[in-house]
Structure 1
C-alpha cells in the first residue's frame, strides 16, 4: 500500500454511503449482525455482503460463515466487499473463514486532473449509450457481451477472444431487465459507454453509477484481441469526463491489479486505498 495518500474521513464516508445505497436501488437488504447482504430477487448481476454502515462491532468468523450459508441458500455467490481502510479487521476474518481476498487498488480521480486520453493513444471512438435510441437494446446486449468475454480472460494481456466470441455471447435481454436498464440510464443513475469501430463493432465497454456528487466507474472491459490499444483508458476517460460535466466531484474505481491500475493512472486517477473482494478459494 505504498504511495497511498492520507485521505480525509469524509472521502471514505462518501464511498461507504454509495457502496451501501446503490444495491438498495434494485435489491433488498438483509441484516446479519454487523453485515448486510444485498439480495436481488429478479434477473441481473448478483450482489454481495458488506459491513453495515451503522455496525458498532467488527464482523467475526461466525458472522461471515452465517452469511455464506445464507448466500448458498439463496443461490447467490459467496462474495463480500469492503474498503480496507474502514474495516481493517475484516481481511484476517474472511481469510480465517476460508475465503480468498483480492486486494484491489482503490483509486480516485484527482480533482486537478482533466480526464482525457492522448489523441495518439487510440483512434477508436467512444460513445455514450442513449436510452431513447432505437438501438439501445442492442447496445446494452453488446456491452454485457463484451464484459462477459473480457472478464473470462481477466488482465491486460492480448488474447484470441474477439468479435466472434462477443457475438456468440450476445443474448436477448428480457423485457424487465431492459426496462430497468433504460430507466436507470434515463434518470442518470447509470451511464454506459462503448468503444467501437464500424468494421469490428464494440471492443470495450464500461459503466458508471452516480449518487449525488459521488460516482463509481465499474465494469471496464476490453475484448482480449483488442487490448493494448488504449481502449480501457478511453472508456474510463469518457465516463469520467461526462461525470465531471454533470458536477460529480468524487469519482472512484477499483482496479483488478496493480498492472490494471497503471491504465487508470494515465487517465488522471491516483491511489486512494484498497478495496477488498472476498470469495471462496477456487478449486483447481
Structure 2
C-alpha cells in the first residue's frame, strides 16, 4: 500500500501547472501561488538518493522562488530524512495516513436542513473555497480566483469536489479528492464552518466524497487526520490506519 500511495502522489505532482523533475524527485509547483502546501516535492520510489540530489532539489526550489518542501511515505525513501536534516530541513509533521475501500465505507447521515452537492459554477466553487479558508485560516498569497481555478482543474481531471449548503443556499462546508491515479485518490480539505460543527457534517462530506469516488470505479481513498477529533470522524466512516508520511521543509 505504501508504494501505491507514493506512486500516486508522484504522478499527481507531475500534472501540476509547473512540474520539475530533479534527479530522484518530482516537484509539483503552481506559478500562481507560493502556498507551501501546494508547492512541494516527493521522491520517486526505488530511485537512490544522494546528498547532491538534495542540494540540486533545493536549488530548483530556490530558482522557482518557492520554499523547499517535501511530503512522502516514509517507507518508500527510508534514508531520505537524514539527508534532508543534514541539508538544513526541519520536520513539520509525522502523520499516519488512513485508507478506505468500498467494503469498509460506512454511510454517514447528512444533518437536517443541509444537502450535499458538487459545485458546478465558479461562484459556487468560490463559496466552497471560502468555507475551507475560514476553517483552515487560509494563506494570504492564495488568491480566491487562483483557488477556484485549481478546484475547477481538479474536477476537469476527474477529482471530486463536494460542498454542503443550507436550504437558503449558503455553503457551509466542503472537501475534495485529488484526480484519481491507479485507482487511488486523496481526500483532502474537509472543512465545516464553526456554527455547523459537531453535527456529523464533516463525516457526511467525507463519506459522500468516498462514495462518489468508488461509484466512479475508484478502489482506495486515502487521507490524513489533523487531530484526534478528525481521526475519530474518519474512522467512523470506514478509514483505517495504513502507513506513515513525513512533512519536512527548509527555510529560505
TM-score of Structure 1 vs Structure 2, range by shorter chain? 0.7 to 0.9
Aligned mates of 2:127, 2:164 — CA distance in 1: 11
Whether the 8 Å CA contact 1:44–1:177 is kept in 2: the answer is no
Aligned mates of 1:126, 1:27 — CA distance in 2: 33
Aligned mates of 1:102, 1:245 — CA distance in 2: 33
Aligned mates of 1:172, 1:278 — CA distance in 2: 26
- Which residue of 1 is the match for residue 191 of structure 2? 221
Q: What do you get for the CA RMSD once the two structures are aligned? A: 3.0
- Displacement of 1:75 in angstroms is 2.3
- Displacement of 1:172 in angstroms is 5.7
TM norm structure 1: 0.74
Question: Residues 81 and 246 (structure 1 numbering): CA distance in 2 closer, same or farther, change over 3 Å?
Answer: same
TM norm structure 2: 0.82
- Which residue of 1 is the match for residue 167 of structure 2? 198
Say yes or no: does 1:236 pair with 2:221.
Answer: no
Say yes or no: does 1:254 pair with 2:246.
Answer: no
Say yes or no: does 1:127 pair with 2:116.
Answer: yes
Whether the 8 Å CA contact 2:98–2:239 is kept in 1: the answer is yes
Say yes or no: does 1:109 pair with 2:127.
Answer: no
List structure 1 runs of 4+ shifted beyond 4 angstroms. Answer: 42-45
* Correspondence for 1:270 among 230, 240, 248: 240
- Displacement of 1:48 in angstroms is 0.7
Q: Deviations over 1:59-98 (max 9, x none)?
A: 53x5435433432332223321100122222333334423
SS in 2 for 1:115: coil
- Which residue of 2 is the match for residue 51 of structure 1? 43
Aligned mates of 2:75, 2:167 — CA distance in 1: 44
Question: Residues 124 and 279 (structure 1 numbering): CA distance in 2 closer, same or farther, change over 3 Å?
Answer: farther
SS in 1 for 2:145: coil
Say yes or no: does 1:146 pair with 2:131.
Answer: yes
Whether the 8 Å CA contact 1:124–1:195 is kept in 2: the answer is no
- Which residue of 2 is the match for residue 78 of structure 1? 68
- Which residue of 2 is the match for residue 5 of structure 1? none
SS in 2 for 1:85: helix
Whether the 8 Å CA contact 1:51–1:59 is kept in 2: the answer is no
- Displacement of 1:130 in angstroms is 4.7
Whether the 8 Å CA contact 1:129–1:194 is kept in 2: the answer is yes
SS in 1 for 2:3: helix
SS in 2 for 1:31: strand
Aligned mates of 2:196, 2:82 — CA distance in 1: 38
- Which residue of 1 is the match for residue 145 of structure 2? 173
Question: Residues 181 and 58 (structure 1 numbering): CA distance in 2 closer, same or farther, change over 3 Å?
Answer: same
